Amino acid sequence: MYTFSSRLKTIALVLMVLGILGIGYSFFTAPKTVEDVEKILAADSHHGGGHADAAHHEPAAHDAHAATTEETHAPAAEAAHDTAHAHAVAATETAHGEHDTVHTEAAVAAHDDHGTAEAAHADAHAAHGEEAHDAHAEHQHHLEHVLGQLQNKPWSAVYVAALFFMLISLGALAFYAIQNAAQAGWSPVLFRVMEGVSSYLIPGAIIVFLILVAGTMDLHKIFIWMDKDVVAEDHLIQAKSGYLNKVFFLIRAAIFMGGWILYRQYARKNSLAQDDATDNSFYKKNFKASAGFLVFFIVTESIMSWDWIMSVDPHWYSTLFGWYVFASFFVSGITVIAMITLYLKSLGHLEYVNTSHIHDLAKFMFGISVFWTYLWFSQFMLIWYADIPEEIVYFKMRIENYNLPFFGMVAMNFVFPVLILINTDFKRLSWIVVMAGIVILCGHYIDFFNMIMPATVGDQWFIGAGEIGAILFFLGLFIFVVFTALTKAPLLAKRNPLIEESKHFHY
Partner 1 sequence: MSNKVIHVLYNDDDILMDAVKKTRAAHHHIEEVYTPFPVHGLDKAMGLATTRIAICSFLYGLVGLSVATAMMNFIMIQDWPQDIGGKPSFSYIQNMPAFVPVMFEMTVFFAAHLMVITFYMRSKLWPFKSAENPDVRTTDDHFLMEVAVHGDENQLVSFFENTGAVEVKVIEKH
Residues of the shown chain interacting with partner 1 in the complex, contacts defined by CB under 8 A:
377, 380-381, 384-385, 387, 422, 424
Nearest to 55 by CA among 140, 143, 124: 143
Dihedrals phi, psi of 25, to nearest 5 degrees: -60, -45
Nearer to partner 1, 27 or 507 (CB): 507
Q: What DSSP designation does 30 have?
A: S
Three-state SS sequence of 199-219 = CCHHHHHHHHHHHHHHHHCCC
Q: Which is nearer to partner 1, 255 or 419 (CB)?
A: 419
In the complex with partner 1, the residue whose CB is nearer, 90 or 422, is 422
Closer CB to partner 1, residue 166 or residue 327? Answer: 327
Q: Cβ 294 to partner 1, closest distance in Å?
A: 30
Q: Which is nearer to partner 1, 326 or 376 (CB)?
A: 376
Contact 462, 22 (CB under 8 A): no
Q: Nearest distance from residue 419's CB to partner 1, in Å?
A: 10
Q: How far is the CB of 403 from partner 1 (least distance, A)?
A: 13
CA distances in angstroms from 142 to 62, 135, 147, 191, 269, listed in the order given:
10, 10, 8, 53, 54
CA separation for the pair 116, 238 (Å, rounded)? 47
Rank residues 155 and 380 by Cβ distance to partner 1 and give the closer one.
Answer: 380
Nearest to 321 by CA among 370, 378, 270: 378
Q: CA 273, 1, 506: angle at the middle one, nearest 5?
A: 80
Question: Residue 449 class from Cβ within 10 Å (0-12 exposed, 13-18 middle, 19+ buried)?
Answer: buried
Cβ distance to partner 1 smaller for residue 248 or 377 = 377
Whole-angstrom Cα distance, residue 210 to residue 119? 61
286/331 Cα distance (integer angstroms): 23
Min. distance of Cβ 415 from partner 1 in angstroms?
13
Q: How far apart are CA 346 and CA 8, in angstroms?
A: 14
Instruction: Supply the DSSP symbol for 225.
Output: G
Residue 187 C-beta: closest distance to partner 1, Å = 21
Instruction: Find how far residue 99's CA is from the centre of its chain.
Output: 81
Gyration radius of the chain's alpha carbons: 32
Q: Give the whole-angstrom CA distance, residue 173 versus residue 261.
A: 10
Q: At its nearest, how many Å lie between partner 1 and the CB of residue 317?
A: 20
Q: Which is nearer to partner 1, 232 or 404 (CB)?
A: 404
Q: How far is the CB of 385 from partner 1 (least distance, A)?
A: 6
Closest CA to 490 of 275, 169, 187: 275
Q: Percentage helix, strand, coil, to 5, in the chain?
A: 85, 0, 15
Q: Which is nearer to partner 1, 53 or 400 (CB)?
A: 400
**Other CB atoms within 10 Å distance of the CB of residue 121:** 16
In the DSSP assignment, the letter for residue 256 is: H
Minimum gap (Å) between residue 426 Cβ and partner 1: 12
Q: Which is nearer to partner 1, 274 or 413 (CB)?
A: 413
Nearer to partner 1 by Cβ, of 35 and 387: the residue is 387
Residue with smaller CB distance to partner 1, 385 or 431: 385
Nearest approach in angstroms of CB 380 to partner 1 is 7
Kindly state the smallest distance separating residue 329's Cβ from partner 1, in Å: 25
Q: Are 498 and 188 in contact (CB under 8 A)?
A: yes
Measured between alpha carbons, how far is residue 304 from residues 115, 253, 471 in Å?
A: 67, 7, 22
CB of 362 to partner 1, least distance (A): 16
| Cα–Cα distance measured from residue 113 to residue 201, given in angstroms and rounded to the nearest whole number | 79
Minimum Å distance from CB 422 to partner 1? 7
For Cα atoms 73, 77, 80, give the angle at the middle one, nearest 5 degrees.
Answer: 145
Q: Which is nearer to partner 1, 142 or 363 (CB)?
A: 363
Q: CA–CA distance from 189 to each of 58, 89, 258, 474 (Å)?
A: 58, 103, 28, 27
- Minimal distance, residue 450 CB to partner 1, in Å: 17
